[in-house]
Structure 1
């Protein structure tokens, strides 16, 4: 089974062709492949889906827990670089179809940087979704682990919950993130960003990613957090999002259409052993 592995700000993904795996990518197999001890290790798997149109590119996004994501900013930059390396695209803009909608990608610097038009961020409860009366979910309060937290919810094809904090930390993200991800306010679970506004052009976030856990960087999280910072009046349209894995440049227009630009690096390519599809664990091991 052939694969290519890339990383975008420390968020690493395998890219595979659907026809190479046929029906092998069950949740159990995905978890095994992504396991950093019993598999090759990855924050997810990007599956290029076949298309009758050679100019159309389709991708499925598999989380390391075996669930599927609607959209992934880092994953889309990685997928764009993969298409570039296979000489399927040039430096002209091209469209990628995801379960969370179409995006427009453009490769720069011989594949080392990619810009993605991520689509429009929406704050409406019915779109995210968030239960309750129809509304924009802006600066509401939730109580988690005895703390009152101010949050704004949004979707950019996948759900996000942005928590405004005076400072952010990995410790808080790993403590509160899983509780917020599975909170009843978010029937489809949610990605969680803890956001510190540094000035009108810079924010810092720590991320708990739905289906993946604590992560060094996330493109869709960066877009959602930047859009929230603009929506609540704390930042302007051009925002640098700082994360443990590095920084992304985000542009948010007045209609909350978001453009993301950031780096991509190739790690490896090769072939997965057939043994990875067999259980390597035994009872009591």
Structure 2
């Protein structure tokens, strides 16, 4: 549920042919080794820019420097819900597949078929041996007229809290089945209740799907950040190994969007850096449940309150790896930028490798996500699609 804003120790950043392109008046930066951009030091790492590292007071709409904003309470997990999440759902054979800017999910209805074990989930998401996808959404059985309940699973089979694109794709699935209409409708996911609205499709077959993600929050400890890892400034300091054997020092400021994230601001992130440091940050012991990681370009200017902002990000997704887009990542990046004084609250366009999404962060820290959903296919798993893993062969006696 928590996002992290990670500050570079210096303002300058890498460039190179693989750098994520975003309009900027700055000249290209020469590529600097990561170990030099994030040097290990006995002194505390400094903020990206003291004049920018401020929080926005939504009451007065002026920049202030509080120690920490209020910490919203994480959603309460009912005993019944907690017990249900300890069991794996059974799924029917039919599925619907769609994507939001290249981030694709398969939606299954709960049924009398096989249990969605970690092995089966990984087989389904395997792009060579199964339908393939970045994740699975299961629509649970509920009483007639009750609001839909969703569960979400990564390609490694692990269940996670929520996905912005997964929610929007599930919303399209429900709309296609005429289970929901044009207006906003609620769904439950990961113990939370969110609202969806789906319009379309247009002449090209593209749906317009929005989701009210709820309020972001800024934790100072468990469950998504290890106890004692958040310092008096509300940050987590990370020391990571670089390819040349030296250490890279990063600062992290926790934020919540319903699942854990880590937003790293800089200039000209390369794909190689995303792959290496995304995995190191995403599995660091500071984040006991793992975390998604966003590598964001530092905004060139701070827009006025209410004006449209703009961010460009690369994404390393927990349980997946590098991905073309992510809805919660877009929300996390905007929330982190606003909290740091790099953006004002209001509407923002988040540019990702797969395409753009619209995020609106309000004064009460509630956030809305909007973007396209494109259908891919419908299909059915055959009864013999995923046999149980074979037992290891016994050694023969002599």
Out of 230, 250, 269, which is 2:338 matched to? Answer: 230
Deviation per residue, 1:207-243 (Å, 9 max, x gap)? 1111111111110111111101111111122211111
Over the aligned positions, Cα root-mean-square deviation in angstroms equals 2.1
8 A contact 2:105–2:137 mirrored in 1: yes
1:73-125 deviation line (CA, Å, top 9, x unaligned): 00011000000100011111000100051111111233711111001111122
Number of the residue aligned with 1:123: 218
> CA contact under 8 A between 1:137 and 1:153: conserved in structure 2?
no
Mark the CA change 1:84 to 1:135 in structure 2 (over 3 Å): closer, same or farther.
farther
- Counterparts of 1:137 and 1:219, CA distance in 2: 28
Moved more, 157-166 or 28-37: 157-166
Q: Tell me, which stretches of 5 or more residues in structure 2 are unaligned?
A: 1-92, 242-246, 303-308, 393-398
Change (3 A) 1:143 1:90: same
Q: Who wins on radius of gyration, i.e. which is larger? A: 2
Structure 1 residues 56, 79: closer, same or farther in 2, change over 3 A? same
* Match of residue 208 from structure 1: 316
Residue ranges of structure 1 left out of the alignment (5+ in a row): none
Deviations 1:240-274 (A, max 9, x none): 11111111100001221100000001100011122
Equivalent residues of 1:115, 1:261 under 8 A apart: yes
In structure 2, distance between residues paired with 1:246 and 1:136? 37
Q: CA deviation at 1:167?
A: 2.2
In structure 2, what is the Cα distance between the partners aligned to 1:155 and 1:53? 33
1:271 maps to: 380
**Shift in CA distance, 136/263, structure 1 to aligned 2, threshold 3 Å:** farther
Going from structure 1 to structure 2, the CA distance change for 1:137 and 1:251 (only over 3 Å counts) comes to: farther
1:169 Cα deviation from its structure 2 partner: 2.5
Q: For residue 132 of structure 2, what is the aligned residue in structure 1?
A: 41
Using the TM superposition, name which of 155-164 and 28-37 deviates more. 155-164
Once the 2 structures are TM-superposed, how far is the Cα of residue 153 of structure 1 from its aligned partner?
Answer: 2.2
The corresponding residue for 2:31 is none
Return the alpha-carbon distance in structure 2 between the equivalents of residues 80 and 120 of structure 1: 20
Whether the 8 Å CA contact 2:162–2:190 is kept in 1: the answer is yes
Q: Larger relative CO (CA 8 A, sep 6+): 1 or 2?
A: 2
Residues 18 and 50 in structure 1, CA contact (< 8 A), matched pair in contact too: yes
Of 338, 342, 350, 1:241 maps to 350
- State the 1:135 CA deviation: 7.0
In structure 1, how many angstroms separate the alpha carbons of the residues matched to 2:322 and 2:229? 31
Query: Counterpart of 2:51?
Result: none
TM-score (norm 1): 0.92
The alignment status of 1:217 with 2:325, answered yes or no, reads: yes
Q: What is the aligned counterpart of 1:16 among 108, 112, 122? A: 108
Pairwise mapping of residues 57-68 of structure 1 onto structure 2 (< 5 A)? 57-68=148-159
Aligned length: 282
TM-score normalised by structure 2 residue count:
0.67
Q: CA deviation at 1:141?
A: 3.4
Aligned to 1:160: 261
CA contact (8 A) 1:127 1:155 kept: no
Counterpart for residue 108 of structure 1: 199
Q: Offset of 1:281 from its aligned partner?
A: 8.8
Instruction: Report how far residue 282 of structure 1 moved.
Output: 11
More divergent stretch after superposition (7-16 vs 100-109): 100-109
3-state secondary structure, aligned to 2:280: helix
Counterpart contact for 2:229–2:286, Cα < 8 Å = no
Q: 1:178 to 1:91 in 2, by over 3 A?
A: same
- Aligned-partner SS, 1:18: strand
What is the SS of the residue equivalent to 1:113? strand
SS at match of 2:385: helix
Superposition deviation, residue 197 in structure 1: 2.7
What is the distance in 2 between the residues matched to 1:139 and 1:53?
46
The aligned residue for residue 187 of structure 1 is 288
Partners of 1:247 and 1:20 in 2: CA distance: 38
